[in-house]
Amino acid sequence: MKGIPVLSVLLLIPVVASLVVLLLPGRMERLIKGFTIAAVALTFGWSLLVLSRFTIGSGAMQMIQSVPWVPAIGMSFKLGIDGLSLPLIMLTSLLTLLCGIYTWRLDKQVKAFCFLLLLLLVGMLGVFLALDAVLFYVFWELVLVPMFFMIGIWGGANRRYASVKFFIYTLIGSVVMLLGLLLLFFWGPHTFDMQAIIAWGQAGKFTLQQQGWIFGALFLGFAVKVPIFPFHTWLPDAHVEAPTVGSVLLAGVLLKMGGYGLLRVSLSALPQAFAAFSPYLAVLGVIGIVYGAAVALTQKDLKKMVAYSSVSHMGFVVLGIAAANSAGVDGAAMQMFTHGIITGMLFFLVGMIYERYHTKEIARLRGLITAVPALGILWVFASFASLGLPGLAGFVGEFTSLMGGLQVFPVITAFAVIGIVLTAAYFLRTLQAVVFAPHEEDSARYEGPHTMDGTEMAAVAPLAAIAFALGVYPMLFFSIVDPVGRALATLVGR
């Protein structure tokens, strides 16, 4: 195993699997679904191998693999992993595995869906592994295609509008981001090697004016993906219309790409511009926290409420990144991971509720704890985890991000408390209405089993276990990311 390029193999598994799925006859649906589950399980197993070979406590890039791609212009197929990218790799492979298991329930165009799921996995993993700017952009763009078709084909009634809006918003952001990456090349060391670009920026070789232009271009691409207020308007439509698996991966992984880009590229390569713009970034983060929670409180649709909660929770990520101290970076990284776990669980549960009640209207969803006790209990658990109950993972990320923000922007950060109160309000309101309120005549008619089946439990039980484990012992996570957080904090003197 010593000479095996483990990161390349991690990408190769879903690439080969997607090609095999294309060759299988479409009528062999059970075989295709079983093979897809096996492929994503193998990918997750390989990510565990990557974890086992990772040196915890080091802030350096590890397992670097580089092959010349277009050497005449400094392009290479270069991969690497550190304490910032490793948790996101684990999150991506785990959520895709659980989505693969949940896909066993699919009965519409199975072959196409499984192919797109594997292709999406390639793109998501590639973004977090790439150490070449062009390669990073290729994987970034690759993610758009399968998600566009997932929403457009398997989505809800307004799926075409939502898929086109998602594609246009993210494509515009990506094109402007590409301009920023090209400026890094032309104004920098004339290579797309991200390590060389970062070293150039940290050595102060970009002028402050150059840093400002590059930061602005990169920011738009990353801001749309997070999404940062006011670039968020594509998100609720995409979430509401996406199929359950699409919503899980969109919230669980795709939103994290923006936060990862801010840390990996903007903060690392443009520290002076980042320090100058960080107060404005903190303001946008706090606005997102309060605005997302306030709008979630007004929602009548359960899935749209969870969608707007993502805008609010990702605001804590933006606030922690803006603080750019060790607590802020650690908190932002933790919040990205735990938001993926908890919100992924919430979207799975919303899908299960909809399959039974055939509506997502909060006012008509009543008596869940009586109809399906296990589902009601899991919704209570996920709600408390998301609203930040101490002892569960959601609390740790939000609290650490707030601590980082208070050290740098105490007045701005103080307003984030409003969002925390509103978050408790909309989750407690939903618990009262959906889980514990008695069934009434105007309630939705319950149709379905009174228990959760094996695929449903397999999809959400691991997420609940992780949310509890990280809430009780967050050092499982912080021991990996903290060396990177400390190194990034030194760049802006915080």
Condensed to tens digits (0 to 9), the pLDDT of residues 36-63 reads 999 999 999 999 999 999 999 888 999 9
* Structure confidence by residue, pLDDT tens digits, 411-451: 999 999 999 999 999 999 999 999 988 877 666 777 677 78
Q: In 3-state terms, what secondary structure has residue 200?
A: helix
Rounded Cα distance between 266 and 279, Å, is 15
CB 169 within 8 A of CB 150: no
Beta pairing partners, 70: 75
Rounded Cα distance between 380 and 74, Å, is 52
Q: In 3-state terms, what secondary structure has residue 287?
A: helix
| Strand ranges in 162-304 using DSSP code E only, listed in sequence order | none
Q: Which residue has the higher pLDDT, 440 or 280?
A: 280
What pLDDT is recorded for position 73?
Answer: 83
Helices marked H in 301-415? 302-323, 326-357, 368-371, 373-387, 393-408, 410-414
Place 391 in a pLDDT band, splitting at 50, 70 and 90.
Answer: very high
In a domain, 1, yes or no: no
Rounded Cα distance between 494 and 489, Å, is 5
CB 432 within 8 A of CB 362: no
Mean pLDDT of 62-89: 93
In a domain, 457, yes or no: yes
Rounded Cα distance between 407 and 319, Å, is 12
What pLDDT is recorded for position 475?
Answer: 95
Mean pLDDT of 450-467: 93
What pLDDT is recorded for position 127?
Answer: 97
CA angle 443/430/231 to nearest 5° reads 115
In a domain, 151, yes or no: yes
What pLDDT is recorded for position 478?
Answer: 96
Q: Over 70: is that where the pLDDT of 193 sits?
A: yes
Stated as kind and residue range, the H or E segment containing 201 is helix 194-202
Q: Over 90: is that where the pLDDT of 188 sits?
A: yes
Place 385 in a pLDDT band, splitting at 50, 70 and 90.
Answer: very high
Mean pLDDT of 363-379: 90
CB 307 within 8 A of CB 337: no
Structure pTM? 0.95
Q: Over 90: is that where the pLDDT of 356 sits?
A: no
CB 85 within 8 A of CB 128: yes
What pLDDT is recorded for position 442?
Answer: 62
What pLDDT is recorded for position 358?
Answer: 86
On average, the pLDDT of the chain sits at 93
Rounded Cα distance between 8 and 116, Å, is 20
Q: In 3-state terms, what secondary structure has residue 10?
A: helix
Place 493 in a pLDDT band, splitting at 50, 70 and 90.
Answer: confident
CA angle 109/115/119 to nearest 5° reads 145
In a domain, 373, yes or no: yes
Rounding to the nearest 10 degrees, give the CA dihedral for residues 377, 248, 472, 408.
-130
Rounded Cα distance between 260 and 272, Å, is 19
What pLDDT is recorded for position 445?
Answer: 72
* Structure confidence by residue, pLDDT tens digits, 116-157: 999 999 999 999 999 999 999 999 999 999 999 999 999 888
Rounded Cα distance between 128 and 1, Å, is 23
Token readout for 25 is 């006859």
In a domain, 386, yes or no: yes
Rounded Cα distance between 4 and 2, Å, is 6
Q: Over 60: is that where the pLDDT of 1 sits?
A: no
Q: Which 3-state string (H, E, C) describes 56-92? A: CCCCCCEEEEEEEEEHHHCEEEEEEECCCHHHHHHHH
In a domain, 242, yes or no: yes
Q: Over 80: is that where the pLDDT of 2 sits?
A: no
- Amino acid in position 491: L
Mean pLDDT of 199-222: 94
CB 481 within 8 A of CB 333: yes
Mean pLDDT of 311-337: 96
Domain count, the chain: 1
Rounded Cα distance between 420 and 416, Å, is 7
Enclosing domain of residue 149: 6-491
Residue with tokens 């923000």: 405
In a domain, 70, yes or no: yes
In a domain, 297, yes or no: yes
Percent of the chain with pLDDT over 70: 98
